Structure 1
Amino acid sequence: MPFAWDKLIDKAYLNNSLEELGKMPIDTLKGVSKKDADLLQQAFGIKTINDFGSNPYFLAAQAIYRAEMEKEYDAGPPPFWLQKFSELSDDYFVQHPSARFRSAFGGVLYRGRLDNTARVLVVGQDPSTDEAIARRAFVGSAGQRLQKFLNKVGITRSYIIINTFAYSILGQFDSEMRRISLEPTLKNFRENLIDTLIKKNPIQVILTFGAGAKHAMDNWENTQNSKVFNLVHPTAPEATTHPSWNNQLSEIAEFLEADDPNIINMEPYTGKWDKTLHMTNIPRFDLPYDIPFLARNTWY
């Protein structure tokens, strides 16, 4: 038990495990009386520390508090999503018999909102070097092109981005990776994650970028009949990316409630990739507090 926990719970319980503490009554916490615990139970049906920590009203208040206090950076997943992300062990990727996953830097699970406000769900393929450093999905050149695309349809904040594979893959998305993508352990985790995101957020469109993401979503049971748009990956040549994006730009915008209608721009993509025209910085509020200094002029 960490030494600082004597500030949180009564001394009599310091030798209990976390699992045991979670099942104990609220007045196990320092400063909470038996009367306080009884009132919480009467008002909200809260009996245990776990009940208190997972109470939807408490979590809503915490989300508002976090949003106010952490406007400038992403402090990481709240408890519910930490638990959800942990349902697929790192060992799956690290010990995979194919040896097709780069395990040195761990997995990258998301970028964007985990506060039930996302209207766009973006599904990519796998993280690259920039993402491994930032610990967030789609932050490199591909991510900055994606960010500009979202801006063109009026979205500045209301999105959540995940990948088909949490770990970077070795080589291309070939027939072997197609098979791995549909392995029950990975497929069930990914689809449960997608279903939960849709359940908890007012998702209006799902955007896939690249062959890996399209393959994953083609094999997903779309029980909510969510609108899915399959787009060419942002790292592809302009000759394939621009037509794909241009052909679907206006339809995507029609399905969405914009964060900022004033920035909607239906001007089609033309010419070579241009940093000024086709890219925009990753918002600081999408990135962790302690990103490396050298990255600050690269991502935002």
Structure 2
Amino acid sequence: MHLFDLGYIEEPFIGLCQDYPDSTVYPIENFRIEWGPIFHRGRLDGSARVLLIGQDPAQNEAIVRRILVGEAGQRIQGFLAKLGIDRSYVMINTFLYSVYGNVPAKIKKSAAIADYRHRWLKALLTTQPIEAVVTMGVLADEAWKTWAATPDGRNFSALQVMIPHPTKPESASDGDKQKLRDETQKMLSQWNTALQTLHTAIKHPDQEQPLILYGDTWQPGDKVAIPDFDFPPGLPAWMRESDNWARRVGKDLTAKRRNITLTVPKGVVPKP
């Protein structure tokens, strides 16, 4: 049996996917508009208990058309599993398109970008029984605070917790192995604090279970494969279970914008 995500089959989500901002709102010099918008991952059927807000889609997401499906997604899937949540979640990003370089402050504060994001937040928070909101990283936290200051946002009262982005250790260590270990330990400690708060706040987990916190380093089972029911039909299992199968390639930055190379992992294709 191959389960899959039914997609955007009801309002208000149909309308959100029909009417989204383009390069007149997201400048092409700051975003990879050429790969299109990536909207969400998770439940839209009225069953989501946890809302997660990420940053922006990467190359894996451009191919499978769902957010948080690479290393970051598998780490956050493990985070949810510790809370007994293996299905009842929904995720959106701060930005609809992949960031190219750095995002200027004026773009971060763009009313047009925020307005569309607020439409998604309103749709989710009025159709799903959300018990907790998790923001991943500074950009996501700023996006939530912007929403929380709106009239609709002020009417929402569930717990909100910020955690470091799942791949912050890699981005902060810049290839230094000792710094990577230190940053990983620091992040997992912060995640543990958030888990203890969330474990109390989430009243209807998918699985009732004791909370087992992270250690100082990643352990077997901390990273969890993303379930097939989060993806469009027909997606191969290796796109859910591994990372780095999609890479931006090219001799210069322009070429890398135009090319994503896909590689089936070793072991999937039998040797002749």
Q: TM-score range by the shorter chain?
A: 0.7 to 0.9
Q: 1:255 is aligned with what amino acid?
A: A
Superposed displacement of residue 193, structure 1 = 1.3
Take 1:158 and 1:293, find their aligned partners in 2: how far apart are those partners?
Answer: 21
Report the Cα offset of residue 297 of structure 1: 4.5
Q: 1:288 aligns with which of 232, 242, 248?
A: 232
Given that residues 73 and 287 in structure 1 are in contact (C-alpha distance below 8 angstroms), is that contact kept between their aligned partners in structure 2? yes
More contact order relative to length (CA 8 Å, sep ≥ 6): 2
Q: Percent identity?
A: 33
Q: How does 1:44-123 map to 2 (within 5 A)?
A: 72-80=3-11, 81-92=13-24, 96-97=26-27, 99-123=29-53
Which residue of 2 is the match for residue 190 of structure 1?
A: 117
Q: Distance in 1 between matches of 2:240 and 2:67?
A: 16
Deviations 1:59-111 (A, max 9, x none): xxxxxxxxxxx970113111311212333233445xx4461101232111000
Aligned: 1:228 with 2:160: yes
The aligned amino acid for 1:245 is W
User: CA 1:98 to 1:106, structure 2 compared with 1: closer, same or farther past 3 Å?
Assistant: closer
Task: Describe the superposition over 1:221-255 as per-residue Cα deviations: whole angstroms up to 9, x where unpaired.
Answer: 23112311000000012133112101111110111
2:269 — aligned with what? none
Superposed displacement of residue 281, structure 1: 0.6
CA gap 1:86/1:241 in 2 versus in 1, 3 angstroms: farther
The structure carrying a bigger helix percent of its residues is 1
Taking only aligned residues, the RMSD between alpha carbons, in angstroms, comes to: 2.0
Return the alpha-carbon distance in structure 2 between the equivalents of residues 200 and 122 of structure 1.
15
8 A Cα contact 1:164 1:181, kept in partner: no
Name the residue aligned to 1:259. Answer: 206
Q: SS of the counterpart of 1:249?
A: helix
Paired residue type of 1:188: D
Q: Is 1:142 matched up with 2:89?
A: no
TM-score by length of 1: 0.69
Aligned length: 222
CA contact (8 A) 2:37 2:96 kept: yes
User: Are residues 1:246 and 2:176 paired?
Assistant: no
Structure 1 unaligned segments of length 5 or more: list them.
Answer: 1-69
2:215 paired with 1:270: yes
CA distance in 1, matches of 2:79, 2:160: 16
Q: Which runs of 5+ in 2 are unaligned?
A: 170-183, 244-272
